[in-house]
Structure 1
């Protein structure tokens, strides 16, 4: 016969175990998710240039190179940091840059996309499912996209992982690329509390987000990337609000978007929603509220105009490197590079070399920050800037960027450290779009990204104070804005630490102190902090909780049964 006190003690113990398990299980699930997704540091290690070796059948490579515009996906093995992932999907990527390289007679420097889970759903690299390898097209500095993502990250925007990578294909050197995390489910799990919402990549009809109708099928260019069976009612609700006078705080993460557009405007990044092509951005809906996500910044820092891009000429580029390039660090990060090879590309391309610092770029309007269109034709941005309170916050964020990230001291520190890191790899890159002289001129000549940032910051502050009035540009190609790809200078002084040695300045400047009314909301676990979401573990938590509950109920029933036996005995 069981004594009542023993039964009570057993039930109490089971209840305590149940409560403890309910508390600990979510923590264990988060720890498991965190350990399983370490790619932010293991794959995108910004302290070095990561080696990426791609191996595929020669026939498959020939097929890709013969028809790059088709974006044919083939089977490949990829080795990153000495770790091999087999049977991945491999293809070309891009639109304008892809077509431009296709037109070159002597270049095969395409951007690439690696799908680790294309052939095997559960396959990844430290949690990373997809990786983009961007070819630094239209950028002699190799830094525009990297620095742009750094600014977005500093502004608290959910930003894809990014770092420099040196690529080989079937043992052949393909050159220095920027590796960028693809924006898809893994990215959402890493950056948002709820990763089950609708993700869009707008490009085409409806990508300006202008109201067409209540039928989502009329917006053929919105391109839903997740949740194939979504009714997309949240998108229609958002479009209605920004176009027809609804409460936009119900459908937009207003502060996040103000920070995003302030950064994009400061960068004069016009191959984007704010330009004539109205693309190169993502929208993510979380519980009916939309955020905007950054993508494709190789033409930032005033590098885009109208048609953008460059036209190829079939002449071979002469190698101008020998007299100027330094070769002291031929081996870095346990990676040996080959001797300098002649540049393979269609040199002499009609590019952006002379105009990226023209007046229309430096003084790009912050009050009507669009080009090739009117602000009214970009309703998402117009709805934000038409509100006096929101515009004041937007101005505050622009002031933060001008006085902090774009300061000469911090831009010099960042570009100097990047230059020290990548210069040996640029020198040996056999497919680069520019000669070594052009790289050095763009990074240490008289007109560099540092000069652009400093002058742009001065213009932003002058516009904010009212000392400079700039009218918005509305006609593509009539504002003097030409495709811009870097400095067109005759030499200049090298920034500090260009040649390496000594302690390098920090790559990442301190977080911007926004203070006062400009302070963004707490973004821990949602943006910037890279906290894992909980959606991937919710099913496991529910199942385990049910099992524990069943055990508890079973124990109570068991105790009750023996108590009744004791009374009847």
Structure 2
């Protein structure tokens, strides 16, 4: 029996079961799952004393599409099984930033996934959750970094998503060991805040550095000819429960076309956005139907422009300072640089009554796994007073707080609390050992993992050499020949360009400008020197340069160019993964020596080990150039 037949039989069986529940429970005045209110009323699925089994069953066509078109991040319809419990009609899509690009370039099918229980049924949840994330461990030979890092933030009192390990299957493909991560949404917010009606933001750089104000926003909009969103555009972003109105309308149009031509296509577009300015890059996730960014703009004005004399009084009105200091203490200690401290993303900001709280996110690059060009020594000895990758002045959430002496002293207290408590060598050694024992057999049974069994064992204590971002894919999973899009020798590509995922240009050719027609590319090469196009990765175009760009590129190509640059140089991840136990011992020693004055705790303001990164700084045009989103 094929997977398509199995999928259909499961759907028929599930429909029969639901109908029976409606009949039986409806007689008792209770509808439950049949009304779409809840699927599975058991405990939360974040079990920590074992590895749960998750099976996702979809049609063969959808599974093939999910793999071949992973970068499109389109939802497909599937059935979801958690430890034998069925939730029918869920939406599943690939997820990730650099991780997704890396996996696709490697030819691997081991995708990180987002499961939306709410997409096709806006009233339905699974054990109270609307979404779950399943992360593939692409950047960690031990599988442990992400799970333990979330635990550490939680133990230091920050609002933190829950995590656990699962053994994941898609149809008859054993995907292997994944980290299951709670979605940051209103369900999550309800656990930590008395009011879940505030604005939730998920920033991306350069807006995510928080080093801009309303004045900067207006200046950039004027300079680039970007108008504020129209009311109609805002209305289409209204959240209808499972998805934005525009996405639901698109999905319905696709399904209507499928019915007319007799096909059976259950795919629905994933939420898409075309960020055009700082506000869009802040990524509002709630209240999209009536967006009001007044509190955000006020917060940024205080953070960037409030005089030192009144800064403490005013910042405490718009920021949970205590939580922010704890965040910086934990993030800097565990080498969480793929975050606000480095790239300017992988965190949430939640606002209630004008006051913001920071929430950690996407921690697979912690413990120095995402080094941004820093040497091993730079990572271990990262300055505690300048725990940023790049100029500390361009991360005002760090610079303004840590240059005020009472806040700096409180920050030192939290460092001491962290080192003597959750991050103590004794507790961390025990936690690493317990977690490794829990997942050991699943790691060994995982044939699609990005690293070897030897890397897993060695990475717990010893450094592991990389073979590229996220390690090498399993044997036989690399596509033959250069990756798609490679250019013949001699074709244009900025010098020193490192394509998404940290890989060198493909053998026999270089990486092309993204999504530009041959005519547009020829025009650019005729109007700009190669060095100038390369510079446009890291600065805003002048008026004259902007006019040249407009003369060569369509509006769509301009958007690609201005958001991503002629190419995207992303930070390298370093040559080794530092052994987990080794990291804890050496980082603890370094921080204690800095606190005791035996080692420098600050530098010249340029940040710790800025290395070879080429990331946007304040003043860059909105949205770019950036690593692929």
Flag whether TM exceeds 0.5 (same fold): yes
SS in 2 for 1:282: strand
Shift of 1:305: 2.4
Please list every run of 5 or more consecutive structure 2 residues that lacks an aligned counterpart in the other structure. 1-36, 219-227, 229-276, 464-577, 614-629
Higher RCO (Cα < 8 Å, 6 or more apart) = 1
| Rounded Cα–Cα distance in structure 1 between residues aligned with 2:94 and 2:188 | 21
| Alignment map for 1:228-239 (pairs within 5 Å) | 228=288, 229-239=290-300
- In the other structure, the counterpart of 2:283 is 223
| Alignment map for 1:7-156 (pairs within 5 Å) | 41-105=43-107, 107-156=108-157
- In the other structure, the counterpart of 2:381 is 363
Contact 1:202–1:279 (Cα < 8 Å) also in 2? yes
**Given the alignment of the two structures, is residue 442 of structure 1 paired with residue 508 of structure 2, yes or no?**
no
| Rounded Cα–Cα distance in structure 2 between residues aligned with 1:172 and 1:238 | 48
Shift of 1:385: 1.1
Residues 476 and 93 (structure 1), Cα distance of their counterparts in 2 relative to 1, 3 Å cut: farther
| Of 408, 419, 423, the match for 2:425 | 408
SS in 1 for 2:378: helix
Contact 1:301–1:449 (Cα < 8 Å) also in 2? yes
| Of 569, 576, 587, the match for 1:456 | 587
| Alignment map for 1:411-430 (pairs within 5 Å) | 411-430=428-447
- In the other structure, the counterpart of 1:300 is 366
Shift of 1:40: 10
How many residue pairs get aligned? The number is 397
| Of 323, 341, 344, the match for 1:256 | 323
| Rounded Cα–Cα distance in structure 1 between residues aligned with 2:282 and 2:55 | 35
| Rounded Cα–Cα distance in structure 2 between residues aligned with 1:480 and 1:362 | 18
- In the other structure, the counterpart of 2:179 is 178
| Of 284, 289, 293, the match for 2:355 | 289
Shift of 1:192: 1.1
Cα-Cα RMSD: 2.4
| Rounded Cα–Cα distance in structure 1 between residues aligned with 2:600 and 2:193 | 39
TM-score, with length taken from structure 1: 0.67
Residues 39 and 282 (structure 1), Cα distance of their counterparts in 2 relative to 1, 3 Å cut: farther
Shift of 1:67: 1.0
Shift of 1:437: 0.9
SS in 1 for 2:600: coil
Residues 68 and 39 (structure 1), Cα distance of their counterparts in 2 relative to 1, 3 Å cut: farther
| Rounded Cα–Cα distance in structure 2 between residues aligned with 1:306 and 1:457 | 21
| Rounded Cα–Cα distance in structure 1 between residues aligned with 2:41 and 2:75 | 23
| Rounded Cα–Cα distance in structure 1 between residues aligned with 2:284 and 2:98 | 21
| Of 415, 425, 430, the match for 1:398 | 415
Please list every run of 5 or more consecutive structure 1 residues that lacks an aligned counterpart in the other structure. 1-34, 309-354, 482-569
Instruction: Give per-residue Cα distances to partners, 1:516-559, cap 9 Å, x unaligned.
Output: xxxxxxxxxxxxxxxxxxxxxxxxxxxxxxxxxxxxxxxxxxxx
